[in-house]
Structure 1
Amino acid sequence: MIISRCTDISERTMGDEYLLGIDIGTSGSSGVIVDSDLTVVASDSVTHDVHAPNPGWVEHDADEVWWHDFRVLSDRLLSAAGIDAGDVAGVGVSTLHAAMLPVDGDGDPLGRAVLYGVDTRSTEEIEILNDRIGEERIYDVAGNALTFQSVGPKILWYKRNEPRKFERTERIVDATGYLVYRLTGNYTMDNAIAGYFHPLYNLSEVAWDDGMFDEVGIPRDLLPDTRWSTEIAGHVTAEAAAATGLAEGTPVIVGTGDAIASLISVGATRGGESIFMYGTTGVIFTTLDEEHRPEGLWALPHCLEGKYIAAGGMATSGAVLRWFRDELAAEERAADEDAYELLDRQAAEVDPGSEGLVLLPYFSGERTPMNDEAARGTITGLTLSHTKAHLYRAILEGIGYGFRHHLEAMRETGVPIRTVRAIGGGARSPLWRQIVSDVTGVTQEYVSDPIGSPLGGAYLAGLGTGVFDDLAPLEASIEVADRTEPDHDTRAIYDEYYDVYRDLYPQTKASMHRLAELGNR
């Protein structure tokens, strides 16, 4: 689906500078062109699917998804905006993070990209590296324990399982780095994304750790040098210009990850400012003014030099809603109205707690804070009186409990959380935002015209090309359209259901693992 918006060309003046931001996500991509006043000139979005060829494997075809979506969006955005490609002052890319893509000497992918923590194929490699290097040393260097979010074990998996392809591998890149390469011919990697390549990245040094490459058994030159997101990675080549509609020579910045670009887009750039990202996966990211290592979560460099991030992410959130819509809501999908809006209205008629239902949204294992690839989704409390509306509300509530679990884990490890802004496609739902605020007890700010990651990428491009000197123009442009306050009476109800939510995982973990084993046979 393509959604375009453009202003009247007659309102613009000659010589305006424009910035292009494009974000590639797990199940969709979006883009925006803004002018130097941060007025949105055009915005588009497209959807795509993932490949799941084996249990625990989640992949993207880098050319059919990443490069295809970038080319489509770039061309359509330029057409919708009605501007000359030469007026684009800079390009900023953000993507799902962190993917692992091997390419050969010609820069061509040697297979599909292995995605972030939703892909859980590297169980054995995590064990190998923990035994070989030691968990304490890994944590000392990387600032993180090895989990399925870690890219290092996935590279080792590739080496062990695809030895012939590994021998032909010239570089291993992430999604942002691949698109930057297609645009400029240069290999780069953002420091924030490199922070997921544990145990190869030294968090305190903000650089690759040469000793870790030796211990993992991976040549250092397989990975690009790391840089800051706003640095100029290169310029659009003639070949890329022909493919995208951009002008040859247009500056392209290093770029960053989607959730980090979302932090930028809503101005959550000071210590303690956080986002709840309602996407295919649900994540909470918090900007920090100094390095901090929250146990069980993720510690990363920020895309802005001198800052850091504490973060965590569920394996699924919006993905469960999409599953429900596609598999169980045929009537709503056939209606003239948006299926999610119809389902929301039905769920709003159900009392908090869904009349005795609790859902664990572990439909693709679970990332933080449990880091359990064999966790499985459960719906507990079903009776014959429950309806489709009860089930849908239970999903919204279950993901709300997941946000609360992360919020508590952050606070328990000393992460300061002062403000929370809601971002992502799911945040457009007032019902879902209200449920999450009621469950967590947190006020969520929702900005007007929440474009998200593409705007963050475009603004970073503006910083890199000198269109902007600092973050002040972005901060001045942000307006909070709504504040979702928790209802304390409803919070008291959810407190009891949350206790059940937290009890269910340890009580059913052994059965989950057994079912995962049986299902994978």
Structure 2
Amino acid sequence: MGSNQYVIGIDYGSDSVRSVIVDAANGKELASSVHEYTRWKKGLFCKPAANQFRQHPLDYIEGLELTVKECIRLAGGDEIARQVKGISVDTTGSTPVAVNEAGVPLALLPGFEENPNAMFILWKDHTSVKEAAAINEHAARFDINYLQYVGGIYSSEWFWAKLLHILKVDEIVREACYSWVEHCDWIPFLLTGGSRSAEMKRSRCAAGHKALWAEAFGGLPPDEFFSSLDPLLKGFTDRLFRDTYTSDVAAGTLSNEWAQRLGLPADVKVGVGAFDAHMGAVGGQIEPYHLSKVMGTSTCDILVAPTHDIDNKLVKGICGQVNGSVIPGMVGLEAGQSAFGDTYAWFKNILSWPLNNLLANSKVISPEVAEALKAELAEEIIPELSRQAASLPIDEVNELAIDWFNGRRTPDADQTLKGAITGLSLGSDAPRVFRALVEATCFGAKSIVDRFIQEGIPVKGIIGIGGVAKKSAFVMQTMADVLGMPIRIHQFKHTCALGAAMFAAVVAGIYPNVEEAMHAMGGGFDVSYEPNEANHEIYNKRYAQYKGLGEFVAWQIASAKEEQTEKIA
């Protein structure tokens, strides 16, 4: 490999986009930049109480341009830019959008600028719960099990449920919608100057894990499957895709427009996109049968296994198993938790209510001091709760929580489920409740590990990446104690972006395959959390309590639903 070859990895998260420029020779970061989505930060187009979370494509475009240009400036300007060879992108998912025939998201067209249904439907948008239930019921009527490669249960977080919901609720969008496109497919299409949605290279990762694409089916399920589910879906398979591409394949080269906008050469290769956790697993140097946990607002858990090991084995209740979705030549298996960091953020928001709603009207301090105080305390709440919670003794009779604050992703997706806290008393203070919430998220992680093992997929170790993994020693130690397994934390701060950069190096021809890029560009692990055996024994008993409480919560929700249905009938 020649010297002075650089690559850019772009990671679109739930709240922000981050870009990194990396030396392809060794994975060293030259510069990084993070941009919080402007409209999203203001809460525009979202209704949390209704589980509606939408993002405007302009947030993505502005963040892309700002972060890449900032990276180039910080890394050394034009001299560095001239030596950039490749760009690859990861995004959250499933985060699809309605586009016209030219592949333009409808929200970028006149008349649709303020319509949430014309925007990207964020992964955690659960407005399509009914549509997901209809897909699950419908699939049971077919001789071929079209859900077999996505764990047997279709989720409201995914591609088809969201498409059907938007088509049903918005006639204007329905009439204008030519195709339905994942965020990770649209950004490379944008960067390469794509002008026809039919020519867009679709990600194997996104299509296989969320859109029911499978090699065994020769592509997507047939039109009959979807049109008999709802006539609104008739003909959509013809306007989507048949072929998919792994992320070691180039989507094309940077268009002249985007080369000028970013200050890069027009011959820069742009890779086929993928989901953040899948590229993050590569950035975190995943190994076969080691579970890579990307821990942020939610978790996405990735495991890879040699294709010949999996053979015809189907794992129930996970988010899919797809050949080549992580590393070409291996099967990628995905699981996850719908709320992880979001659980802690919810509790922080509860505690911050007086700061957010009363402090501005204080008669004791000025508005400027009130804002400064609010900002200072907001930064300290979670770190201080963690310090206090870590000092509390672990006991079988402590407060107990269920982590389904945004439904349950794995095992056995059910977005109608809710979180719960029990065992409260007058002695239950904020650190004790916070500890119960942390334990709940760790018990949720254990339920995923247990499912893999029960289905015959060994889990040999845990690799932790993402914001929570890097920032919270308390959460990571608790998880190690709950799982009874060591957890290695990757040293790179923006691991998903690093994974994207590794794919960019392969796409640019710097490395022949992903494994060699990982070996050369991965910097290893800087922290390891070892389980405390005494704590693990107590947590095994607590985990049994967690499962019992979860069964009760699920039963209670199902009973309430049944009762409501009977009243309507």
TM score, norm. by length of structure 2: 0.82
- What RMSD over aligned residues (CA atoms) do the two structures have, in Å? 2.8
What aligned pairs does 1:114-513 form with structure 2 within 5 A after superposition? 114-116=121-123, 118-124=125-131, 126-127=133-134, 130-131=137-138, 134=141, 137-139=144-146, 142-145=149-152, 146-186=154-194, 187-199=200-212, 201-204=213-216, 207-210=219-222, 212=225, 217-224=234-241, 225-268=243-286, 270-290=287-307, 291=310, 292-301=313-322, 302-329=325-352, 333-335=375-377, 338-353=380-395, 356-428=398-470, 429-470=472-513, 471-476=515-520, 477-512=522-557
Give the whole-Å Cα distance in 2 for the aligned partners of 1:469 and 1:226. 20
Give the whole-Å Cα distance in 1 for the aligned partners of 2:405 and 2:425. 21
Amino acid aligned to 1:190: S
What aligned pairs does 1:92-131 form with structure 2 within 5 A after superposition? 92-110=88-106, 111-116=118-123, 118-124=125-131, 126-127=133-134, 130-131=137-138
- Say if 1:517 and 1:349 are closer, same or farther in 2 by CA, change over 3 A: farther
CA drift at 1:257: 0.7
CA offsets per residue over residues 272-294 of structure 1, 9 Å max, x none?
A: 12212211102321112124421
Give the whole-Å Cα distance in 1 for the aligned partners of 2:425 and 2:36. 36
Amino acid aligned to 1:501: Y
Amino acid aligned to 1:363: F
Give the whole-Å Cα distance in 2 for the aligned partners of 1:369 and 1:64. 35
Aligned residue for 1:196, secondary structure, equals helix
Aligned to 2:367: none
- Say if 1:137 and 1:157 are closer, same or farther in 2 by CA, change over 3 A: farther
Tell which structure's C-alpha radius of gyration is larger: 2
Is the contact between residue 281 and residue 326 of structure 2 (CA under 8 Å) also seen in structure 1? no
- Say if 1:295 and 1:135 are closer, same or farther in 2 by CA, change over 3 A: farther
Is the contact between residue 21 and residue 454 of structure 1 (CA under 8 Å) also seen in structure 2? yes
Aligned residue for 2:210, secondary structure, equals coil
CA drift at 1:336: 9.3
CA drift at 1:71: 1.8
Give the whole-Å Cα distance in 1 for the aligned partners of 2:377 and 2:139. 56
Give the whole-Å Cα distance in 2 for the aligned partners of 1:364 and 1:336. 22
CA offsets per residue over residues 351-404 of structure 1, 9 Å max, x none?
A: 225961111111122222142222111111111112111122112111000000
Amino acid aligned to 2:273: G
CA drift at 1:327: 3.1
Aligned to 1:66: 60
Amino acid aligned to 1:373: Q
Aligned to 2:75: 81
Which stretch shifts more, 313-322 or 245-254?
245-254
- Say if 1:421 and 1:332 are closer, same or farther in 2 by CA, change over 3 A: farther
Amino acid aligned to 1:75: K
Amino acid aligned to 1:442: M
| Structure 2: segments with no counterpart, 5+ residues | 107-117, 195-199, 356-372, 565-569
Amino acid aligned to 2:155: T
Which stretch shifts more, 178-187 or 239-248?
239-248
Aligned residue for 2:556, secondary structure, equals helix
Which stretch shifts more, 216-225 or 90-99?
216-225
Amino acid aligned to 2:99: V
- Say if 1:421 and 1:381 are closer, same or farther in 2 by CA, change over 3 A: same
CA offsets per residue over residues 403-452 of structure 1, 9 Å max, x none?
A: 00111011111112122111110002111110001011111111223421
CA offsets per residue over residues 152-182 of structure 1, 9 Å max, x none?
A: 2222223333344233223311111111122
Give the whole-Å Cα distance in 2 for the aligned partners of 1:518 and 1:458. 52
Give the whole-Å Cα distance in 2 for the aligned partners of 1:518 and 1:344. 41
Residue in structure 2 matching 1:39, options 22, 28, 38: 28
Aligned residue for 1:233, secondary structure, equals strand
Amino acid aligned to 2:24: S
Aligned to 1:5: none
| Structure 1: segments with no counterpart, 5+ residues | 1-13
- Say if 1:377 and 1:337 are closer, same or farther in 2 by CA, change over 3 A: closer
CA offsets per residue over residues 194-217 of structure 1, 9 Å max, x none?
A: 013344x12535733445566552
- Say if 1:435 and 1:138 are closer, same or farther in 2 by CA, change over 3 A: same
